[in-house]
Amino acid sequence: MTEHLPALQVVIPLLAAPLCVLLRRPGAAWGVYAATALASLAISLLLFARTFDGGTLRYALGGWPAPFGIEYVVDAVNVLPLLLVSVLAVAVAIYAPRAVASEIERPRIYLYYACLCLYLAGLLGIGITGDAFNVFVFLEISSLSGYALIAMGRHRRALLAAFRYLVMGTVGGTFVLIGIGLLYALTGSLNMADLAERVPPLYDNRALHAALGFIAVGLAIKAAVFPLHAWQPDAYAESSSAASIILAGAGAKIALYAFMRYAYGIFGGELVAEVLPLGRVLLLLGVVGMVLGSAVACFQTDVRRLLAWSSIGQIGYIVVGIGLADPAGLRAAFLHLFNHGLIKGGLFAVVGIVLLRTGGTSLDHFAGLARRMPGTFATLLLGGLGLIGVPLTAGFVSKWALAQALIGAQQWWVLAAMLASSLLALVYVGRIIETAWFREPPGGKAAPAAPGMSATVWMLALLTLWIAVDSSAIAGVASHAAQTLLGGAP
C-alpha cells in the first residue's frame, strides 16, 4: 500500500470530486472533502518523512516505466509545496462548514466542495508529477476549478473577477502548453528527468529559448508575478472566505514551484542565469513587484484587497530568490514559499471571520474588533508581523535567508528594495492593527465567532510560530531542494 502513496496523493481528491456531486447533501459533501483533505495531509506527511533528508521516491503510473509512461516523483523539491497545499486544505476543511453556510446558497454547496476537491487534486498533481505535460493537465484542472470557486463568491462582481482570471489563466495555460510543445518537438521526451539530460546540448537552439520564454511567462501569470498580477487582487477579494484561504495561500505558490522545477530542474541554471538573461529579468520583476505591491497595499481600504496586494509584494521576494539562481537564493525562495503560504492563508481566514461577524471586509469593519475578539486578532497580529518579517515570526526566517543570499550574491540594491518593502509592509499591517485595536467599534450586534473558524486561524498561527521557533527541519528540506534543483536531475 505504502508504495502507492504518490499516486494516492492525487487520485483520492480526484475521485472525491464526483463523489461530492453524487452525494449532493451539503453535510455529506463536506464529509467527503474533509476526509480527502485529511488523507492528503497524512500522505504528504508520510512522503515528507521519507524524503526530507534528501531521498527520492519514484512511482511509475500504471506500471509504464519512466521515459515513456507518466512518472510521479517525490523529492526534497516538492515535499514542501505538497505539505503546504495539504495543510491549507485541512485548514479549509475545518473552516468551511460555518463560512460556507453563510456565504454560499445551499443548493450549490455540494458543487463548492466538489470544486475544492478538484482544486486540491490539481495543485497536488502539479506538485507531484515528474512529467512535463502532466503539469499542464493539472494546471488546467486547478485553474478551471479555481475559476468556478471564485465565481461562487458573494457578489456578482465575483463573476467578472472569475472571468478576468479565466482569460489570463487561459493565456498562461496556453503559453505553458506552447512551451511544452516546443520542448517535445526538440527532444522527443516529456519526462522531466529525461528532459534534463537532453536539453543541455541544445543550449544554443533558439526554439529552446522560446520554450523557456513561453513557459516562464505562462507560469508567471499563474503566480501573479508583477506585471502579470492584475487578475489577482480581484480574484482573491471576490472569492468566498473558505476558498480564499487556499487560493491565496497555495495557488500562486504551486505555480512558483512549477516554475522552479521547469527552470532549474529541466532547463538548468546555466541556461536561465548565464546563457539567457532570465535570472536578471526575474530580479528586476521581483524588485518592482515587492516595492509596488507593498506600496499599493498601503492605500487599500478593503482588507482582502490589501492582503492580495501584499501577496504581490511577497511573491516578489520569492521571485528574487529564484532569480538569484544560486543555492542560497533558491533555499530562501522555498522557505518563503512555504512560510508565506501559511501566513497568508491564516490572514485570509481571519478576514473571513470578520466578514461573518460584521458583514464586510473593509477597514471600517475592523474598527475596534480586537477588543471584542482578542484571540482571533492575536493571530492577525502574529501573521501581520510575519508579513513584515519581524524576528521570531516565520516571515523573518525566510527573509533572513533571503537577506543572506542577497549579501552573498552582492545584490545590494535588491537588498535595499527588500528592506524598503519591509517598511512598507509595516505601514499596511500597522493600519490594520491600529484600526482593530484603537478605533471605536460600531455599535451593537455581532454574531459569535464559529469555533471551527477560530480553530483554523489558530492552527495556522501556531504552525507559523513553530516554524519561527524551530525552523531546522523546514530549512533543511529547503537546502536539499535547492541543491537537488541546481544539481540538475529532478
Of the candidate spans 53-61, 76-84, 180-188, 291-299, the one that interacts with another protein by CB under 8 A turns out to be: 291-299
Site string for another protein, 234-263 (x = CB under 8 A): x-----------------------------
Of the candidate spans 36-44, 78-86, 147-155, 276-284, the one that interacts with another protein by CB under 8 A turns out to be: 276-284
In the complex, the smallest distance separating the C-beta of residue 387 from another protein, rounded to whole angstroms, is: 13
Residue 281 CA neighbour count, 13 Å, CB half: 14
Of the candidate spans 41-49, 125-133, 253-261, 390-398, the one that interacts with another protein by CB under 8 A turns out to be: 390-398
CA distance readout (Å), 220 to 82, 145, 229, 371, 455: 20, 19, 8, 41, 33
Of the candidate spans 117-125, 145-153, 343-351, 422-430, the one that interacts with another protein by CB under 8 A turns out to be: 422-430
Which residue number, 49 or 423, has a Cβ lying nearer to another protein? 423
In the complex, the smallest distance separating the C-beta of residue 102 from another protein, rounded to whole angstroms, is: 26
Q: Can you tell me whether residue 194 is helix, strand or coil? A: helix
Q: Which of 427, 455, 486, 489 binds another protein (CB under 8 A)?
A: 427
Do the Cβ atoms of 447 and 373 come closer than 8 Å? no
Identify which of 406, 436, 433 has the alpha carbon closest to the alpha carbon of residue 419.
406
* 305: contact with another protein by CB under 8 A: yes
Do the Cβ atoms of 77 and 485 come closer than 8 Å? yes
Question: Which of the residues 19 through 78 are near another protein (CB under 8 A)?
Answer: none
| Cα 373 from Cα 350, distance rounded (Å) | 11
| Cα 31 from Cα 455, distance rounded (Å) | 17
- Where is 219: in which H helix or E strand? helix 206-222
Of the candidate spans 19-27, 37-45, 93-101, 294-302, the one that interacts with another protein by CB under 8 A turns out to be: 294-302
> What is the 3-class SS of 221-282, one letter each residue?
HHCCCCCCCCCHHHHHHHCCHHHHHHHHHHHHHHHHHHHHHHHHHHHCHHHHHHHCCHHHHH
In the complex, the smallest distance separating the C-beta of residue 209 from another protein, rounded to whole angstroms, is: 4
Question: Which of the residues 457 through 486 are near another protein (CB under 8 A)?
Answer: 471, 475
Of the candidate spans 73-81, 259-267, 275-283, 457-465, the one that interacts with another protein by CB under 8 A turns out to be: 275-283
Of the candidate spans 131-139, 142-150, 244-252, 426-434, the one that interacts with another protein by CB under 8 A turns out to be: 426-434
The DSSP secondary-structure symbol of 448 reads P
In the complex, the smallest distance separating the C-beta of residue 377 from another protein, rounded to whole angstroms, is: 12
CA distance readout (Å), 286 to 249, 271, 290, 291, 412: 19, 19, 6, 9, 14
Which residue number, 30 or 428, has a Cβ lying nearer to another protein? 428
Rg from Cα positions in the chain = 21
Q: Which of 27, 69, 391, 487 binds another protein (CB under 8 A)?
A: 391
Which residue number, 109 or 405, has a Cβ lying nearer to another protein? 405
Q: How many of the other CB atoms lie within 10 Å of CB of 413?
A: 10
* 426: contact with another protein by CB under 8 A: yes
Which residue number, 73 or 449, has a Cβ lying nearer to another protein? 449
In the complex, the smallest distance separating the C-beta of residue 136 from another protein, rounded to whole angstroms, is: 17
Question: Which of the residues 428 through 447 are near another protein (CB under 8 A)?
Answer: 430-431, 434, 437-439
Q: How many of the other CB atoms lie within 10 Å of CB of 174?
A: 13
Distance, C-alpha 33 to centroid of its chain: 20
* 100: contact with another protein by CB under 8 A: no
* 403: contact with another protein by CB under 8 A: yes
In the complex, the smallest distance separating the C-beta of residue 16 from another protein, rounded to whole angstroms, is: 33
Secondary structure (DSSP) of 282-334: HHHHHHHHHHHHHHHHHH-SBHHHHHHHHHHHHHHHHHHHHHH-SHHHHHHHH
* 231: contact with another protein by CB under 8 A: yes
| Cα 404 from Cα 463, distance rounded (Å) | 24
* 298: contact with another protein by CB under 8 A: yes
CA angle 336, 404, 331 (to 5 degrees): 40
| Cα 304 from Cα 362, distance rounded (Å) | 8
CA angle 370, 372, 376 (to 5 degrees): 55
**Number of residues this chain uses to bind another protein (CB under 8 A):** 62
* 230: contact with another protein by CB under 8 A: yes
Cell, residue 175: 503559453
| Cα 232 from Cα 437, distance rounded (Å) | 29
Secondary structure (DSSP) of 344-381: HHHHHHHHHHHHHHHS--BGGGGTTHHHH-HHHHHHHH
Of the candidate spans 67-75, 229-237, 259-267, 347-355, the one that interacts with another protein by CB under 8 A turns out to be: 229-237
Question: Which of the residues 165 through 224 are near another protein (CB under 8 A)?
Answer: 167-168, 171-172, 175, 206, 209-210, 213-214, 216-217, 220-221
Q: Which of 25, 49, 188, 299 binds another protein (CB under 8 A)?
A: 299
Binding stretches for another protein (CB under 8 A): 164, 167-168, 171-172, 175, 206, 209-210, 213-214, 216-217, 220-221, 227-228, 230-231, 233-234, 275-278, 281, 292, 295-296, 298-302, 305, 309, 374, 385, 388, 390-392, 397, 400, 403-404, 407-408, 415, 419, 422-423, 426-427, 430-431, 434, 437-439, 471, 475
